[in-house]
Amino acid sequence: MNTLTGLKKLGIDLEVSNTFSRLLAETGFETIGVETFAGSLNGWPRDPKWKAMGKGCLQNYMNGVQGFSVTFFTRELGWAPARVQTVVEKTKVQAMDPKSHVSNTCRFRFAEYGSM
């Protein structure tokens, strides 16, 4: 089982954003656009703007990694909570290491509604 399949069993669909442009069009929005970029998960970028954004993303990640990891690994994979805690702690250490160039794809969708 991969992560996406396991999360879908929990009612979490990480791929739902792939349908947003279609849903916007069906609702009557026009001039639909998508901006895609790679965002860092910690402060490794040299550019001050991207470094600050990465640090903000890291804070959000650190606040949520425990909750979504415990739920997924215990309910769907049957792991013991102690095992999950060990993995979470190692993950947090790696995520905070600026030598670890962790990034993710970010997509922003925008649209206009009718004639303005």
Number of domains in the chain: 1
pLDDT per position in the chain (116 positions), as tens? 567 777 777 788 888 888 999 999 999 999 999 999 888 889 889 999 989 999 999 999 899 888 888 888 888 888 999 999 999 999 999 999 989 988 888 888 999 987 65
Selection from 92, 74, 93 nearest residue 84 by Cα: 74
Best CA proximity match to 113, nearest among 11, 26, 6: 26
Kindly report the pTM of this predicted structure: 0.67
DSSP string, 44-73: --SSHHHHHHHHHHHHHHHHHHHHHHHIII
Which residue segment(s) compose the domain that 43 sits in? 3-113
Sequence letter at residue 68: F
